[in-house]
A and B are shown apart, each in its own frame.
Chain A
C-alpha cells in the first residue's frame, strides 16, 4: 500500500476528521487525539481565523494539519472569498465544498471546478468535495487539485458507500489521492472504503453525533487501521474460480 502523501505532506493516518457538530470543543479535542488523525477540517464560518484564542482552533492539538472548509458557500465566488480569508490568516489547505442544494447539501460540480481552477492557480492546496463523478474527478485532477473527495452518500446521512460503483472507477482512474468524504456512518463503512482502495476517509457526523464521540473516534481509528493491515496482508480473493497467485504486474 502506497504511503499517503497529499501536496507533499505524508500522513500516518488514513482517517481525517471534521470538527463540527460536537457537544463541546473539549470532546472534539479528545476525539481528534484518540482518532490518531493528522488532518482535520474546520469551517471558516465557525471560527475567527485570525484570533489566537479561537474556541475551535485552540482546541486542535499542535502538529495536526488544519484544512479550512468553505461550508456555506453556494457558488465559486463565495468559496474563493472564504479561501482568501483563510489564506490571509495563514491557512492554505482548503476543503472546497460548494453546496447550494439546501436539502442534501450536494456539491455543485460546475461551481466546484471553476473555484478549484482559480484556487490552484493562486497557490492553494485544494481538496474538493464532489459527488462520486469519475469524469469530474479527472477534470479536477487536470486542474491541479491535490486530492478528490467524493461522497459515499449525502453528508450526515450515515448511509455508507451507496456510490460504491462510481467510487471504484474514481479510485481506478485517478492518479491523485481519493478521500471518501460524507455518508460514512459506521466503522465498517470506513474499512470498506480503504479496502476498496481509497487513500483515506473523512468522518464527522458519525463520530460527533454518536452518544460517545471519543469511543467512536477510537472505533473508526481501529477500523481504518484494520483495513490497512488487511490490504498489506493481501486478502485472498472471494469466489471459487482459481486465479493466478502471482499476477503479471510488471508495468
Chain B
C-alpha cells in the first residue's frame, strides 16, 4: 500500500494538465451518474469540461446535501486564545515578523469570552491559537478545553501540529474535533512560504493521522486558497481525505475552503481564487465526499455563504471575531488574523437561514460522546 506521502507527491501539475487535455464532458456525466466518487471524482468535477454542466453539478450537490444532512446548518464560532506566533508564514496576519499587539488570554478571560459567546446561543466552539511554545503549551490548551466544557457541547481545535500523545490528552480533556489545514499540498511552495517549526511539511501532513489515532471524532482538512493553483490543491486534498477515510474509517472528515484575505502583511496572493471557482470546488467535494461536512467561514460575504449553505455547505461560523479577547470586549477586532466579510449577528444569520428554509442547529454534539 502506498504511503500518504507517496500519494500526495504523486499529484502533479503535469499530470493534471494532460488529464484536462483529454477529459470530455461525458466523463463528468459519468461521475454525476454516481458511477464513482472520492478522490478520482474530483478532477472531473472541477475540469474545464465540467463548466458546461454547472447546473447539473449544483443540482446533484443539492440532492446529496439534503440526503445526508437534511435541511439543517450547524453554527459555530472561533475562539482565539492567543496570537503569539513563532512562525513566519508569509500570508498570515499573526506572523512573527508582524508588529502587532499580542495577547494570550488568561483562564479568567477565556471564561469571559465563553460567556459572551454563549449569550448568542452558540453551542459549538473552535479554539484557535498561534504556535509559540513559550506562551502556548499543551497544558494550557488542556486547561482551556476544561473551561470551555462548562459552556459548550462541542469543542474543536485549530492549533499547531502535535504528537499523538498530546492529541490523546486533548481528546481526553473533551475536544472532539481537530482542524489542521495543510495550506498547500505543494511541498516546494510550502517550503518557500514557511519558516519556524511550521516548515516541516510532513509533520503537518501527518497530523490528521495522528489526531485520528488519538481518538478525535472529526478531522478537518483545508487548503489556503490563493497560494497554489486551486485545481492542484483540491486534487491533493481529495487524495488526502480518501486515504484518511480508508485508514481511519471511524473518523469523520470535514472540509474548509478559506481564501486568503487582507491580513496587514504585504503578501501578494500568487493565485487568487474567484468566487465561481470556490463554489465549483465546494460543489465538487459535496459530490465526491457526500457524507463529509463542509464548512464556510465569515471570510466570505453573506450572499455567497447563504448560497453555498443551501447547495453544499453544512456548517457556518457566525459573528466571528478573530482577535483574542474580542467577544468580551477585551480588545477590538481590528488586528485580527484576517478580514471578515460577513459581520451579521448570530440572530440575523438564524433568521436569514430560516427564511430560506434551513434550520440553524446549535447543538449537534453531546459531552456523553467524549471519553
- A and B interact physically: yes
How many angstroms between the C-alpha atoms of A44 and B366 in the bound complex? 7
Provide the A9-40 mask, 1 if CB < 8 A to any CB of B, else 0: 00000000000111111000000000000000
CB pair B291 A103 closer than 8 Å: yes
- A46-B361, A46-B363, A102-B249 are known contacts. Are A78 and B368 too (CB-CB below 8 A)? yes
- By a CB distance below 8 angstroms, the chain B residues around A157 are 67
| A191 part of interface (Cβ distance < 8 Å) | no
* Those of A35-85 within 8 Å (CB) of chain B: 44-48, 72-74, 78, 81-82, 84-85
> Which of chain B's residues has its CB closest to A101's CB?
B249
Size class of A's contact patch? Answer: 20 to 34
| A100 part of interface (Cβ distance < 8 Å) | yes
| A156 part of interface (Cβ distance < 8 Å) | yes
- A100-B249, A103-B245 are known contacts. Are A48 and B363 too (CB-CB below 8 A)? yes
> In the complex, how many residue pairs between chain A and chain B have their CB atoms under 8 Å apart?
78
CB pair A24 B354 closer than 8 Å: yes
CB pair B369 A205 closer than 8 Å: no
CB pair A20 B245 closer than 8 Å: no
Provide the B242-259 mask, 1 if CB < 8 A to any CB of A, else 0: 000100011111000000
CB pair A46 B357 closer than 8 Å: no
How many angstroms between the C-alpha atoms of A213 and B132 in the bound complex? 51
Tally of B interface residues using CB under 8 Å: 27
> Mostly helix, strand, loop or mixed at chain A's interface?
loop
How many angstroms between the C-alpha atoms of A84 and B357 in the bound complex? 34
| A163 part of interface (Cβ distance < 8 Å) | no
| A208 part of interface (Cβ distance < 8 Å) | yes
Provide the B333-371 mask, 1 if CB < 8 A to any CB of A, else 0: 000000000000000000000100111010111101100
| A158 part of interface (Cβ distance < 8 Å) | yes
Residue from B67, B354, B361, B364 within 8 A of A156 (CB atoms): B67
Give the top 3 A-B pairs by smallest Cβ distance, nearest first.
Answer: A21-B70, A23-B71, A100-B250
**B-to-A contact residues, CB < 8 Å:** 66-72, 153, 217, 245, 249-253, 291, 354, 357-359, 361, 363-366, 368-369
| Contacts A24-B359, A101-B250 supplied; 19 other A-B pairs, CB < 8 Å | A21-B71, A24-B354, A45-B153, A45-B363, A45-B364, A46-B361, A46-B364, A74-B217, A74-B250, A85-B368, A100-B249, A102-B249, A102-B252, A103-B245, A105-B291, A156-B67, A158-B67, A205-B67, A209-B67
